Amino acid sequence: MAQAAWKWMVVAAAVGAGVMACDGGGGGPNNPPPINGLDAGTNVFRPGLGDDEGEPEGTPFTLPEGLSYAGTTVGADDITGECQNPGTESSGSGTYVRVCVPLRNDTGAPVEVVFPPGLIVVSTSEGRGQNGLLIERTIITVPPTPPGPGGRDDAGTPDGGVEENAFIVPLNMYCLNEALDPSNPYITYRVGNVTSDEALQELLRLLEGKVIDSLDDVGVVQHALYSITESHGLTTEDREDIDDL
């Protein structure tokens, strides 16, 4: 799993480029033209990917007993890539969809939660934000939530805010909708399904055991995702580049 030490250097280098890359909606010279979320091989729409506005398909993600969401998941700061008051270091190597997941632990003891590869966060800001895909297995121990006052309205959380004692988990994810906006603190999200999309599952299998520890590596993964979500699927070049990671 990529570590936080290099991530914000990646963010600083990628902020400008990220907006352009996720705003243009087009395939590169090695890919066919985009086909609006349609898988050319099977002629089946892929909900929530590319230009399709549906719900990404998959298995519902559930938190362990005693854990709950402590308010609204929002995007991290779009300049620093950081969450306000994080409870732990950021996890994941993506740079375009960086979210802050607030959790509450009412068990009175630490609880371990596993965010699996293939987990999708879904933008709830209509027409604005990209859905995000986590590619690294992320294991977080959430301490008991201390007693305190109720929730509070945080700046930049227009849909309700975050509880004061929430344990914030920063997740760095990859873009699934090239033409939409990268994350920022004014875009809201919810934790969705673990993908069942066959092409995304294949990509996750190809990435098993790979170490993504540079901006070039991040670019390889994001390019491969765009080949799936915006075009006809993984190319020979994608597979070769992934093999070289």
pLDDT in tens, 34-79: 333 333 443 356 889 998 888 999 999 999 999 999 999 999 999 9
pTM for the whole structure: 0.80
pLDDT in tens, 80-117: 999 999 999 999 999 999 999 999 999 999 999 999 99
165 within some domain: yes
Q: What is the DSSP letter of 23?
A: T
Structure tokens given for 245: 């990671």
Q: According to the model, what pLDDT value does residue 31 have?
A: 39
101 within some domain: yes
As a whole-number percent, the residues of the chain with pLDDT over 70 amount to 76
217 within some domain: no
30 within some domain: no
Number of structural domains (the chain) is 1
23 within some domain: no
pLDDT in tens, 142-199: 999 988 654 434 433 344 589 989 999 999 999 999 999 999 999 999 999 999 999 9
Q: pLDDT band at residue 141, thresholds of 50, 70 and 90? A: very high
Q: According to the model, what pLDDT value does residue 206 have?
A: 98
73 within some domain: yes
Rounded-to-integer distance, Cα 69 and Cα 196, Å? 23
Q: Please give the backbone phi and psi of residue 182, each rounded to the nearest 5 degrees, phi first.
A: -60, 165
Q: Supply the range of the domain harboring residue 158.
A: 58-196
Query: Helix, strand or coil for residue 86?
Result: strand
Q: Are 129 and 189 in contact (CB under 8 A)?
A: yes
236 within some domain: no
149 within some domain: yes
Beta strand residue intervals within the chain, DSSP E: 38-39, 44-45, 58-60, 67-69, 73-75, 97-105, 111-115, 119-123, 132-133, 138-142, 151-152, 162-163, 167-175, 188-195
Mean pLDDT, the chain, whole residue set? 83
